[in-house]
C-alpha cells in the first residue's frame, strides 16, 4: 500500500520516517520545505494530483499550525492549515476509497475545570484559536464521511525540532535558576511512541472497522514543573534551581488547559497496545539526544 505522510519535517513526521523503514508499505514523505516531495495541502488540486500520481490509499496528516500564542493574531492561515487542509485531505481520500489518519490535540479541551482524564466523547471546549481550529479540523473530516482515525495527543516532544525537552535541556544547563508553571497538568508524549502506534495500526491493517477519535499520550500525569525537574535530573543539571510558579506569572494571549490529561482506555482496548510511562519514554528520547 502507498501511504502519504504530510508535515514530514516535523517531530512526528521525522519519527514516522524512522519507523516506516521496518514496514512492508511504501511511504511518500511530503512537506513544503527542501528535501521532501513538495505538497501544498491547502490546495485541493495539488493533493488530488499527488494521490493520483502515487496511487495513495492512506494519508497520515502530521502537518498543522502549532504555534499556540501566534495563532491568536496570525489570521485565516491557522484555520486554513488546521481545518481546511485536513478537510481537503479527507475529500480526496473519500473519492479514492482511502483512509485518513489525522493528528489532533488536547487543546480541543480546556474551558471547563476538568479533574478527571478527558474521554473521546467529551464536548470540545477550546480556549484559543489553535484549539478551536483543531476542533474544526476534526469536525470537517468527520463531515466528509471518509474512513478516518483522529488521534488527539498532548505535550509532544522528540529529538527533532523545537520542544519543551530541548528548551529545558538548554536552560537548565545555562541558567542558575528557572521558574516553571505548576498549575497546568497533562502528560508528556514522546513522538516516537505515537509513531510506533500509528505504524502498528497501519502495518497490521487494524484501521478498517475501528474508525473514529482516539486519545494517545504516554501514561501518567505531571505538571510542567515536574516535567522540567525530571529533564534536569536525567541530564544531571543539578546546579539549576527550578522553582514552581503560577501561570499568571507568564502572561499569554491564550488560556491554556489547566488539566488536559487524556483517557487512553479506548485506544488500548481497541488495538491491544501497551503505552509506556512518561518518564521511561523521556529517558529514551534524552539518550538519543545525548
Cα separation values, 112 from 105, 107, 130, 185, 254, Å: 16, 12, 17, 14, 15
Query: Is 130 part of the annotated catalytic residue set?
Result: yes
**Predicted local distance difference test score (pLDDT) of residue 113:** 65
Region of 234 (left: φ > 0; alpha: ψ -120 to 50; beta: rest) is alpha
Most confident of 32-41, 105-114, 191-200: 191-200
Mean pLDDT, rounded, for 112-117:
78
**Predicted local distance difference test score (pLDDT) of residue 255:** 84
In this model, does residue 102 exceed pLDDT 70?
yes
Q: Active site residue: 36, 130, 157, 214, which one? A: 130
Q: Which three cell numbers stand for residue 149?
A: 482515525
In this model, does residue 86 exceed pLDDT 90?
yes
Q: How far is CA 259 from the centre of its chain?
A: 17
- 126-176 pLDDT per residue, tens: 999 999 999 999 999 999 999 999 999 999 999 999 999 999 999 999 999
**Predicted local distance difference test score (pLDDT) of residue 254:** 86
- 237-289 pLDDT per residue, tens: 999 999 999 999 988 888 888 898 999 999 999 999 999 999 999 999 999 99
**Predicted local distance difference test score (pLDDT) of residue 59:** 98
Helix (H, G, I), strand (E, B) or coil at 85: helix
Q: Report the candidate in 78, 69, 5 with the shortest Cα–Cα distance to residue 36.
A: 5
In this model, does residue 68 exceed pLDDT 90?
yes
116-155 CB burial, b ≥16 within 10 A, e <16: ebbebebebbbbbbbbbbbbbbbebbbebebbbbbbbbbb
Q: What is the mean pLDDT of the chain?
A: 96
Q: How far is Cα 163 from Cα 157, in angstroms, rounded to an integer?
A: 6
Q: What's the DSSP call for residue 36?
A: S
CB 267 within 8 A of CB 197: yes
Q: Which three cell numbers stand for residue 189?
A: 508524549
Q: How far is Cα 188 from Cα 185, in angstroms, rounded to an integer?
A: 10
Q: Report the candidate in 30, 29, 52, 55 with the shortest Cα–Cα distance to residue 42.
A: 30
In this model, does residue 79 exceed pLDDT 90?
yes
Looking at domain 2-162+187-218+261-276, its CATH class is alpha beta
pLDDT bucket at 61, cuts 50 / 70 / 90: very high
Q: What's the DSSP call for residue 51?
A: H
Q: How far is Cα 185 from Cα 231, in angstroms, rounded to an integer?
A: 16
Which residue stretches of 55-190 are H helix?
77-79, 85-96, 129-144, 164-174
For 209, phi then psi, to 5°, come to: 90, -10
Helix, strand, coil percentages, rounded to 5, for the chain: 40, 20, 40
In this model, does residue 109 exceed pLDDT 80?
yes
pTM score of the predicted model = 0.96
Determine the Cα angle at 100 with ends 23 and 35, to 5°.
Answer: 60
Amino acid at each position: 500500500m502507498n501511504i502519504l505522510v504530510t508535515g514530514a519535517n516535523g517531530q512526528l513526521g521525522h519519527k514516522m520516517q524512522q519507523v516506516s523503514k521496518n514496514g512492508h508499505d511504501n511511504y511518500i514523505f511530503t512537506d513544503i520545505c527542501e528535501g521532501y516531495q513538495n505538497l501544498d495541502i491547502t490546495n485541493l488540486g495539488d493533493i488530488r494530483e499527488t494521490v493520483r500520481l502515487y496511487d495513495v490509499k492512506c494519508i497520515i496528516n502530521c502537518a498543522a499550525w502549532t504555534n499556540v500564542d501566534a495563532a491568536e493574531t496570525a489570521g485565516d492561515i491557522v484555520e486554513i492549515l488546521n481545518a481546511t487542509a485536513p478537510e481537503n485531505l479527507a475529500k480526496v481520500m473519500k473519492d479514492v476509497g482511502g483512509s485518513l489518519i489525522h493528528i489532533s490535540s488536547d487543546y480541543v479541551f480546556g474551558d471547563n475545570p476538568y479533574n478527571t482524564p478527558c474521554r473521546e466523547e467529551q464536548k470540545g471546549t477550546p480556549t484559543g484559536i489553535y484549539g478551536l481550529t483543531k476542533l474544526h479540523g476534526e469536525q470537517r473530516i468527520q463531515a466528509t464521511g471518509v474512513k478516518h482515525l483522529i488521534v488527539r495527543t498532548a505535550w509532544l516532544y522528540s529529538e527533532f525540532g523545537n520542544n519543551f525537552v530541548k528548551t529545558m535541556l538548554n536552560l537548565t544547563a545555562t541558567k542558575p535558576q528557572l521558574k516553571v508553571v505548576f498549575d497546568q497538568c497533562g502528560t508528556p508524549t514522546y513522538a516516537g511512541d505515537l509513531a510506533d502506534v500509528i505504524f502498528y495500526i497501519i502495518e497490521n491493517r487494524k484501521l478498517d472497522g475501528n474508525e473514529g477519535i482516539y486519545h494517545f499520550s504516554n501514561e501518567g500525569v505531571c505538571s510542567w514543573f515536574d516535567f522540567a525537574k525530571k529533564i534536569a535530573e536525567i541530564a544531571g543539571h543539578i546546579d539549576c534551581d527550578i522553582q514552581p510558579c503560577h501561570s499568571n506569572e507568564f502572561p499569554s494571549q491564550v488560556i491554556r488547559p489547566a488539566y488536559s490529561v487524556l483517557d487512553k482506555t479506548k485506544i488500548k482496548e481497541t488495538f491491544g497496545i501497551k503505552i509506556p510511562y512518561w518518564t521511561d519514554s523521556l529517558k529514551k528520547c534524552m539518550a538519543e539526544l545525548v
